Amino acid sequence: LGGQQTRVVADKKKQSNFARTGVVMAEFGHLYEQQYAVALFNKVRFDLEGGGGLQPQLLQRKNPLVNKSIFSGSIFQCLEENKKWRNRFLFVPDTYNISYYDNKATYDKHLPPKGTINCAGYKVLNSMEQYMDLISSSLPGVKAKVGSAPFLKFPSQFPLMLWHPYARHYFFCVETEKEQQKWHAVLQDCVRHANDGLSEEHEVQTPAFTDTVRLYRQAQGHFGTWEMMCGVPSQILSNLVMESLLPELRELISPRLKGKLHERQRNWMLITDAVYSLVQSQCQSQYEVAVQKCEAARSTLEAFIRTDMDQIITSKEHVTNKIKAVVLPKAEKLLKVSIQPYISSILDALMEPTSRGFFEVRDVFFRELVDMSKNSLNNGTKETVAQHMEKISMLAFHPVKMQSCYEKVEQLSLEGLQQRFDVSSPSVFVQRAQILMRKQMDDAVYTFEQILHQSLESQGTEDLCNTIQRCQDRVNKKFDYDSSTVRKRFFREALLQIFIPYMLKQLTPSCASELPRFQELIFEDFSQFILVENIFEEVVLHSVMKDIMMAVKEAAVQRRHNLYRDSIVLSNSDPSLHLLGESPSIDWAEKYGGKQDESSESQRIRRVKQVVSMIQVEGSSELFRDTPTIDVILEENDGAQEEKADVEATTQTRSPVPKVTE
Same domain as 637, residue 555: no
Percentage of the chain exceeding pLDDT 70: 82
Alpha-carbon gap, residue 179 to 103, rounded angstroms: 18
Least confident of 181-195, 370-384, 621-635: 621-635
- Domain that includes residue 267, residue range: 3-40+210-307
Same domain as 227, residue 193: no
Alpha-carbon gap, residue 186 to 246, rounded angstroms: 30
Q: What is the pLDDT of residues 369-410, one digit of tens each?
A: 998 888 877 777 788 888 889 889 999 999 999 999 999 999
Same domain as 192, residue 124: yes
Please indicate, yes or no, if residue 537 is contained in any of the structural domains.
Answer: yes
Return the pLDDT at 401. 95
pTM comes to: 0.86
Return the pLDDT at 648. 40
Please indicate, yes or no, if residue 203 is contained in any of the structural domains.
Answer: no
For the cut 80, the answer to whether the pLDDT of residue 558 exceeds it is yes
Residue with the larger pLDDT of the pair 572 and 401: 401
For the cut 70, the answer to whether the pLDDT of residue 488 exceeds it is yes
Same domain as 392, residue 514: yes
For the cut 80, the answer to whether the pLDDT of residue 589 exceeds it is no
Percentage of the chain exceeding pLDDT 90: 58
Please indicate, yes or no, if residue 14 is contained in any of the structural domains.
Answer: yes
The string of DSSP codes covering 240-273 is: HHHHHHHHHHHHHHGGG--SSHHHHHHHHHHHHH
Q: For residue 504, which of 159, 97, 222 has the smallest C-alpha distance?
A: 222
For the cut 60, the answer to whether the pLDDT of residue 341 exceeds it is yes
* 640: CATH: 2.30.29.30
Same domain as 270, residue 343: no
Q: What is the pLDDT of residues 432-447, one digit of tens each?
A: 999 999 999 999 999 9
Q: For residue 191, which of 226, 243, 228, 224 has the smallest C-alpha distance?
A: 228
Alpha-carbon gap, residue 539 to 603, rounded angstroms: 58
> Taking a C-beta distance cutoff of 8 angstroms, is the pair 530, 315 a contact?
yes
Return the pLDDT at 359. 97
Work out the average pLDDT over 643-662: 37
Residue 661, CA distances (Å) to 73, 413, 452, 615, 658 in order: 11, 35, 30, 6, 10
In 10 A of CB 514, how many CB atoms? 13
> Taking a C-beta distance cutoff of 8 angstroms, is the pair 395, 368 a contact?
yes
Alpha-carbon gap, residue 183 to 172, rounded angstroms: 10
Residue 243, CA distances (Å) to 160, 532, 590, 657 in order: 26, 27, 51, 42
Same domain as 143, residue 88: yes
Alpha-carbon gap, residue 614 to 608, rounded angstroms: 16
The string of DSSP codes covering 332-358 is: HHHIIIIIHHHHHHHHHHHHHHHHHHH
Same domain as 461, residue 520: yes
Please indicate, yes or no, if residue 271 is contained in any of the structural domains.
Answer: yes
Same domain as 429, residue 329: yes
Side-chain-facing half-sphere of 258: CA atoms under 13 Å: 5
Q: Which amino acid is at 428?
A: V
Return the pLDDT at 438. 97
Q: For residue 208, which of 32, 347, 74 has the smallest C-alpha distance?
A: 32
**Domain termination residue (choose one: 555, 582, 609):** 582
Q: SS3 letters for 351-396?
A: HHHHHHHHHHHHHHHHHHHHHHHHHHHHCCCHHHHHHHHHHHCCHH
Alpha-carbon gap, residue 207 to 193, rounded angstroms: 19
Same domain as 192, residue 144: yes
What angle (nearest 5°) sits at the alpha carbon of residue 523, between those of residues 522 and 529? 70
Work out the average pLDDT over 174-179: 92
For the cut 60, the answer to whether the pLDDT of residue 235 exceeds it is yes
Please indicate, yes or no, if residue 372 is contained in any of the structural domains.
Answer: yes
Residue with the larger pLDDT of the pair 415 and 103: 103
For the cut 70, the answer to whether the pLDDT of residue 134 exceeds it is yes
Return the pLDDT at 151. 66
Least confident of 112-116, 233-237, 612-616: 612-616
92: confidence class by pLDDT, cuts 50, 70, 90: very high
Please indicate, yes or no, if residue 595 is contained in any of the structural domains.
Answer: no
For the cut 50, the answer to whether the pLDDT of residue 647 exceeds it is no
Please indicate, yes or no, if residue 495 is contained in any of the structural domains.
Answer: yes
For the cut 90, the answer to whether the pLDDT of residue 54 exceeds it is no
Alpha-carbon gap, residue 409 to 358, rounded angstroms: 9
Instruction: Give the chain's largest Cα–Cα span.
Output: 82
Q: SS3 letters for 429-449?
A: HHHHHHHHHHHHHHHHHHHHH
**Domain termination residue (choose one: 564, 582, 600):** 582
For the cut 90, the answer to whether the pLDDT of residue 250 exceeds it is no
Residue with the larger pLDDT of the pair 511 and 416: 511
**Domain termination residue (choose one: 520, 555, 582):** 582
206: confidence class by pLDDT, cuts 50, 70, 90: very high
For the cut 90, the answer to whether the pLDDT of residue 518 exceeds it is yes
For the cut 90, the answer to whether the pLDDT of residue 510 exceeds it is yes
Same domain as 567, residue 488: yes
Three-state SS at 607: helix
Alpha-carbon gap, residue 187 to 209, rounded angstroms: 28
Q: Give how many domains the chain has, as a whole number.
A: 3
Return the pLDDT at 633. 30
Task: Name the average pLDDT for the chain.
Answer: 84
Cα Rg, the chain, nearest whole Å: 28
In 10 A of CB 394, how many CB atoms? 21
Same domain as 375, residue 233: no
> Taking a C-beta distance cutoff of 8 angstroms, is the pair 279, 238 a contact?
yes
Highest mean pLDDT among 149-153, 265-269, 378-382, 617-621: 265-269
DSSP 561: G
Side-chain-facing half-sphere of 441: CA atoms under 13 Å: 31
Residue with the larger pLDDT of the pair 82 and 455: 455
Same domain as 303, residue 320: no
Return the pLDDT at 614. 55
Return the pLDDT at 144. 52
6: confidence class by pLDDT, cuts 50, 70, 90: low
For the cut 90, the answer to whether the pLDDT of residue 108 exceeds it is yes
Please indicate, yes or no, if residue 274 is contained in any of the structural domains.
Answer: yes
